[in-house]
Amino acid sequence: MIIPCIDLMGGKVVQLVQGREKALEGDAPLEMLRKFAAFPEIQVIDLDAAMGKGENASIIELLASRARCRVGGGIRTPDRARRLVAQGAWRVIVGTAAFTPALEEIAAAVGPERVIVALDSKGGKIVVKGWREATNFTAEDVIGRLEPFCSGFLCTYVDKEGMMQGTDLEWFRRLRAATKHEITAAGGITTVGDIRALAAINVHAALGMAIYTGKLDLAELAAIAR
């Protein structure tokens, strides 16, 4: 499955490099949703919420009411997860809170089938809090023990995120071998070859910068998705 991404900051659709530097702005949120209409699921990330700088709740509610959306960014409590699901989120993406007792509470609140755990890796280690803080463990270390609390993993290769330089297919192969849960790859996916290589190992592709810059053609992607 190909999953286009809508990242929100200050009410606008943006793309960041390495989660820090704004590289570009996209069209209005509903216009992006229209462009992505051929794809069965959209990934919506509230970057403001992830960084603790407010949230884009009204936009997320609007998007989630019109498409099947997996929603992430700042989901650190059962109440926020429940609120997003009530607003129409198909699934919620939990990052920082996945490494706290809150994960079990979130899974209990909305059901593990609605939870995707984000495993964001930089320099080989999991990073949290908007990718600003490194932990001491790897995705491979933790993926097995997080399985009971989710139905899938969003695994971002932060080292290449937004840089249009390809991704680390070998890392995704190791993760695929470590879990039977659904895996979605993100970070540096730049070519149709990358997407096909991931599909060959049963890994979904979440696409951002390569779509927004036109490096990947939406019509071609839609044909692949069909």
Half-sphere exposure of 99 (CA within 13 A, CB side): 19
Of 52-56, 106-110, 174-178, minimum mean pLDDT range: 52-56
Residue 163 above 60 pLDDT? Answer: no
Structural domain of residue 87, as residue ranges?
Answer: 2-225
pLDDT confidence of residue 226: 81
217 is an active site residue: no
Output Rg (C-alpha) for the chain, integer angstroms. 16
Section 206-216 average pLDDT = 93
Residue among 79, 120, 194, 217 flagged as catalytic: 120
> Which residue, among 20, 30, 26, has the nearest Cα to 7 in the 3D structure?
26
120 is an active site residue: yes
pLDDT confidence of residue 70: 98
pLDDT confidence of residue 200: 96
How many domains is the chain partitioned into structurally?
1
DSSP code per residue over 76-132: -SHHHHHHHHHTT-SEEEESGGGGSTHHHHHHHHH-GGGEEEEEEEETTEEEETTTT
pLDDT confidence of residue 164: 60
Section 25-36 average pLDDT = 93
Helices 139-146 and 169-178, interaxial angle, to 10°?
Answer: 30
Residue 134 has which token pair? Answer: 């490194």
Whole-model pTM: value is 0.93
Section 173-195 average pLDDT = 95
CB of 60 closer than 8 Å to CB of 84: yes
pLDDT confidence of residue 41: 96
Check residue 131 and give left, alpha or beta (phi > 0: left; psi -120 to 50: alpha). Answer: left
Residue 126 above 70 pLDDT? Answer: yes
The domain that holds 10 is classified in CATH as 3.20.20.70
User: CA 201, CA 191: separation in Å to the nearest integer?
Assistant: 16
Residue among 7, 46, 48, 194 flagged as catalytic: 7
Give, for 13, the enclosing helix (H) or strand (E).
strand 12-17
CB of 133 closer than 8 Å to CB of 127: yes
Confidence of residue 3 (pLDDT cuts 50, 70, 90): very high
Residue 129 above 80 pLDDT? Answer: no
* Residue 165, number of CB atoms within 10 A of its CB: 10
